[in-house]
Structure formats: structure tokens, C-alpha cells
Amino acid sequence: MTATANDIDWWRDAVVYQVYIRSFADGNGDGVGDIAGLRGKLGHLARLGVDAIWINPWYPSPLADGGYDVADYRAINPAFGDTAQAEALLREAHERGIKVLLDIVPNHHSDEHEWFQAALRAAPGSPERERYVFRDGRGPDGAQPPNNWESMFGGPAWERVPDGQWYLHLFDVKQPDVNWNSAEVRDDFETTLRFWFDRGVDGFRIDVANSMIKQDGLPDVVEGVNDEQDGNHPYLDRDEVHDIYRSWRRIADSYDPPKVYVAEAWVPDPERLARYLRPDELQTAFSFNFLRAAWLAPDLKENITEAIAENDAVGAPATWVLSNHDVARHVSRLARKPESGRGYQLDDLLDLPADLDLGLRRARAATLLMLALPGTAYLYQGEELGLPEAENIPTDQLDDPTWVLSGHTKRGRDGCRVPLPWSGSSPPYGFGGSSWLPQPPEFAACVADTLDADPESILHLYRDALMLRKAHPALGGGELTWKDSPEGTLAFTREPGFTALVNVSSAPVSLPEDAEVMLTSGPLTRYGAVPADTTVWLRHA
């Protein structure tokens, strides 16, 4: 059967729901999310109205970095299920019209991957070591790391092995970087892509898609010279990385319908990011500048405009996202003063006072903004429940390697990875027998079953918004036209007949004349004005 245009282009305006499988739903009651739990909640996702899910790594892994340390790319971690369950999930999701994306981690393996184990056993200079980045150290006895690169989690990016050589790990010490100059490495990743595509997987999210290529000679990072990702950084966004994606795209296009990629590439310059989306490369890449933008009208407008323009130039849709498993949940980010330049991780925010009611109001407004924009949108599990960040997980329960590698100075990302509250009135809120990370007291107000019974809840807002987005001919793909609007607000139209007004100021603003309200992120004032931190979707003639 030949694919229809809709099958081929679904990703241009899709709403994709991110499943952090460890914390989504627990089917066997051991306190850890799993495939059985996910299968049991497909009804929740179908009712929400999402087009696809992206599942974080579910492969065998020692979980030193939440599964981004993959020991075997073509199998399932027994803690999450098995291949038969994965196949059943794919079937059941597809029956409900939900596509399934997996996560591929091409920059590094787990140190428990059989190739790395073989490399440790092998001698310096051996073909086994050639699959990784092994080097001799500096200094007379080689006791200094080969260069000054630092791990993204803190500390040097090099670890010494007993025979004296060092291996590169841009992330945790248990995540050795692979060598993309090795044909074996390239072939093996392509085999993995085909393995899952052949089983019906619809696409992949590509982890740190901008880091795989390292500059020949592995030169030091020089402050003042390599501060930008401009193609000259020794390991970030090097131009040679694009060849990999041209080859991956050919594989995706060999399927009917073609498979799809989304790049996780924290490349700040939208023009450089758009290079990943040239017609023979990837189809989509997260526009993280939107996530990073302060809750201020000029910042939001600038980032949205830039992302759309740069993506348009290569014929790709923008890909919006407010939260994921690496950043503080947006309820908690928006609960703080919208200072430009503040980071987006919990450790950047902890010293700022938080007003979670305000955060929730803004989160609802931000969601209606995002879902009204042209392009595709990613939701992170639990945002439809209005979950805040868990800010006080006892430090002895922290699991993110950031805590240890930062010398116990940064809490890291566990606060957004806490198991979801599904039902009941006390922890673990129907998650399972217990939950592998403790749920904070604020989750009591975010339980899915309770929100389901309340038509004013954020859960209903998400469902209403997704339903309208699907039904309305102006929403999804297409164009946006900015309109003049009072200071501190954003207004744009989408044709035919749709206007969004986002009030990011601190005072109410009037509705445009002749506008008919379709959906609001919160109640209007009693005079029918749009209060601060509220978005309205309007029908215009």
C-alpha cells in the first residue's frame, strides 16, 4: 500500500508527547515505570489527542545517566519489559493512530557495551580501541588528560584506564564517546536505525545531535576563541556532522511512509540549527531558544520570529517545546521573575523565590501560545497535569550524575523526572508499589484522576486545545502574521480566521473588537478583559 500525503507529512504539524519511561506509569508495581505501564495509559494519551509519542531510551543500560548510557541498542532493558512487549506497544499505539519515536544515542555508548568492554581488554592502538577515543595522556608520564575538555556534567572529560591510556567522555565517565571516523561505528548505528524501523518504529529523536564529530588532533578548547558554536568549536556543531545525517535521511526515505527524525541539538544560532534541516538532512530539530526565552513579550516574539524564519528558509517546520527531562519544569521556571538570561535548570533558579500559582497560570498561557504557533510541538509527560519541579528531593536520593560530578554542588535534573501521580490522595498516587524518586507534596493537586473530574483543570485545557488545534483549519502548519498589540502582549493571526492574544504584561488588556472567544488559558476579568499571564484563542471574521 502506498503512503498518503498525510502519512508522509504528519510530522510537520504533529503534537508529540515525550514519555520518560522510567517515571511514566508502572505496570508491575516495582516503583519503576515500564512498557506495561505505558500500554495501560495509551487511553490517557489518546484522550489527550497527541499524534505521536517519543520514548526516552528503553534499552539495556546500567542507568548511570537515566538510560542515555546504552549497553545494547537493539534490545529492551528488562526493567522496562522485553521485545515482545515493545512490539505489542507499537501495535497498540498504531491502532490508536499514535506514532512512536524512539531515542537514539549516537555520541556515546555505555561503558558496559560489549565493544567498550572489548576495548578495555585490548591493547592501545588495537581495532577495538579505534571505535572509541583513546589517547595517551600529556606530561612526562602521561598522567595529565590529553586535552582540557570538560564533561558536560562537570570535571574533566577524560578517564584513565589501567594501562595508562585515557578515553574521552563528554558526559558521564560511564559514557565513553564513540569514534565517528570509524566505519564500523557508522555502520552499526545505521543497523540500529533499520532494526527499529523494520519493527514499525516511526522515527528517532537524536541525542546530542551536534556533538559526534571531534576536530582532528583534539585541540584544547580556547576561551575567547571557541566560545561560540560557529563551526570552529572542537566538538560542538562541526560541519562534518551533516554527512552523517545525509546518510541517515537516505535510510529514513527508503521506507514507505518515510521515517522521521528530530534533533536534540542545543545550537543557539537558529541559522546554524536550520542547517540540520536542509532538505537532504533531518526533518525537525527542537527550537530550544523558545524554551529558553524569558516570559517577556519581546523575548518571546524575537525567538519565535527567528525560529520560523530560519526554518522556513530550509523548508522545515519549527519544533516548539517548553519542557523535557533535562530542564526544570516550566511551571516552576515561570513561577520566578522573568529575568532575561537566567538559566533553565533547577540549579539556576533555586535562589529565586517561586510563586507556583503564578507559574501554573503562566504555564497554561504558554501552552496555548505554543500550540497556536505554526509547526510541531512536543509535550513533556506531566505538563498536562501542571506538575511543578520537585525541588527538594533528599540529596541521598538524587540519581542524576550531575550531583556527583559537580562535587555535590548541583542537584541536576531529577526534579523533572519524578514519577507521575495518576490516582488516589497520597504518594505514590497510583504509580506503583512505591516510586523510585519521591513525589513532592505539590503533586497532591496534580493527580490525573482528580483533574479528569474537573472541567476547569489544566488537563481539560490540554485536551480542548489539542482538539481545537486538530479541527481548526488555520492551526498546525502554515503561516503566522504578527499584529500590533498593547505593550507587553503578543498578538498574531493565522488564516483562516484565527487570532491568538497573549498577555505577558502585568495588567489586563481588552479583547479586539468583533472577536469571538474560542478558548482561554484562564478566566477573563468580569469586564471581559484578558488578565495578565493569560492567552486567548479567538475567531475573527
Regarding 266 and contact with ligand NOJ (CB under 6 A), the answer is no
- Name the one range near ligand NOJ by CB under 6 A: 29-37, 63-71, 161-169, 504-512: 63-71
Contact with ligand NOJ (CB under 6 A): which of 13, 159, 202, 207? 207
Hey, which residues between 72 and 101 contact ligand NOJ (CB under 6 A)? none
Is the Cβ of residue 171 or residue 429 nearer to ligand NOJ in the bound state? Answer: 171
CB of 153 to ligand NOJ, least distance (A): 8
- Name the one range near ligand NOJ by CB under 6 A: 64-72, 370-378, 423-431, 475-483: 64-72
250-255-259 Cα angle (round to 5): 75
- Name the one range near ligand NOJ by CB under 6 A: 60-68, 74-82, 313-321, 524-532: 60-68
Instruction: Determine if residue 219 is left, alpha or beta; phi over 0 gives left, psi from -120 to 50 gives alpha, anything else beta.
Output: beta
Contact with ligand NOJ (CB under 6 A): which of 53, 105, 213, 480? 105
> Which residue in the block uniquely carries the three cell numbers 479583547?
511
CB of 69 to ligand NOJ, least distance (A): 8
8 Å CB contact between 396 and 493: no
Contact with ligand NOJ (CB under 6 A): which of 26, 34, 65, 414? 65
Rounded-to-integer distance, Cα 205 and Cα 196, Å: 13
Regarding 178 and contact with ligand NOJ (CB under 6 A), the answer is no
- Give Cα separations from 408 to 401, 412, 425, 474 (angstroms): 10, 10, 33, 49
Q: What are phi and psi of 65, to 5 degrees?
A: -135, 55
Residue nearest to ligand NOJ (CB): 68
8 Å CB contact between 71 and 61: yes
Regarding 533 and contact with ligand NOJ (CB under 6 A), the answer is no
Count CB-CB contacts under 10 A for residue 351: 7
CB of 80 to ligand NOJ, least distance (A): 16
Is the Cβ of residue 56 or residue 485 nearer to ligand NOJ in the bound state? Answer: 56
CB of 414 to ligand NOJ, least distance (A): 11
Using only C-alpha atoms, the chain has a radius of gyration, in whole angstroms, of 23
Hey, which residues between 398 and 457 contact ligand NOJ (CB under 6 A)? none
Among 71, 80, 66, 69, residue whose Cα is nearest residue 35: 80
The helix/strand/coil state of 319 is strand
> Which residue in the block uniquely carries the three cell numbers 483549519?
473
Regarding 55 and contact with ligand NOJ (CB under 6 A), the answer is no
Regarding 208 and contact with ligand NOJ (CB under 6 A), the answer is yes
Regarding 68 and contact with ligand NOJ (CB under 6 A), the answer is yes
Cβ-based neighbours of 205, under 8 Å, separated by 6 or more? 54, 101, 102, 103, 104, 261, 262, 263, 264
Helix axes 183-198, 241-253, angle to 10 degrees: 30
Contact with ligand NOJ (CB under 6 A): which of 132, 171, 197, 403? 171
Contact with ligand NOJ (CB under 6 A): which of 13, 34, 299, 326? 326
- Give Cα separations from 344 to 389, 398, 483, 502, 503 (angstroms): 12, 19, 29, 21, 22
CB of 107 to ligand NOJ, least distance (A): 7
Q: Which residues bind ligand NOJ (CB under 6 A)?
A: 65-66, 68, 105, 171, 207-208, 264, 325-326
